[in-house]
Amino acid sequence: MSEKIPEDWYCCTAENTDDDEGADTDDEDTAQSRDQVVKYERIDVYWSKVGKMTRPTGERKYSALMKLARIALTLNHGNADVERGFSKNKLLLTSHRTRLEMPAINGLRTVSSYVSRYGSKPQSLPFSRDVVNSIRSSHTNYEERKKKEKELKRKAEEDRGKEEAEGRQVDDLLKKKANSEALLKEGMCLLDEAMKLKDKGRAMIKAEAANAIIQNARKALEGVETAVSKRDSQSKKRKT
């Protein structure tokens, strides 16, 4: 069942002075429409009132519908402003100004928009003391901005170099760990073979060689673990 829109959602602003023939035979609604011109509220005001409607329990009556209405009302119904902006940027970026950066383009667009408010006549602009001071300090501000950008770029390159060095260090540690584990496995295999030999002399020689390999492998693994823990602690200090 459709719900009637309350009368306070629109207002009658003027009387209709048109005199049509046959007005005596019209019904009451038609006569009223001839006497008054109806002016409706703005669409956002209308939907705001719809969203405030509640049920007897106090909860919102059209909560789901209002979500859809908000999405629909935020949609852009045309791209003229965007296309106009592209056209203005194209006029600014000529063949002799291809190296303009975003701050410079934004500044030119801001000045152009401000001048257009005064009929595109620069001589009509009200030059206050703040404007004059801003113009005088523009080059200094530009130099400071370029200096900051250069410093940020240098720092980014330095951080990238550190990350690459850390990556290479991690790869080296992983290779050393893999080699040490393989060496330890080889030593354990030699020790097992020595235990199976019946010739005690050969078994002793092979066992000594296996123990030497195992000790070297364990030392290498300890060195890798120490290097990994040291790298992790340094990384935590840089982050803090």
**Cα dist from 192 to 195, 199, 201, 204, whole Å:** 5, 14, 15, 12
In this prediction, residue 220 has a pLDDT band, given cuts at 50, 70 and 90, of: confident
In this prediction, residue 3 has a pLDDT band, given cuts at 50, 70 and 90, of: low
Tokens found for residue 132: 């004059």
In this prediction, residue 1 has a pLDDT band, given cuts at 50, 70 and 90, of: very low
pTM: 0.41
Identify the CA nearest to 170 among candidates 238, 231, 239, 220: 231
Mean pLDDT of the chain: 80
Q: Which pLDDT belongs to residue 107?
A: 86
Q: Which pLDDT belongs to residue 211?
A: 87
56, 71 in Cβ contact below 8 A? no
pLDDT (tens digit, 9 = 90+) per residue, 176-210? 888 888 888 888 888 888 888 877 788 888 888 88
- Of 5-9, 157-161, 219-223, the poorest mean pLDDT is in 5-9
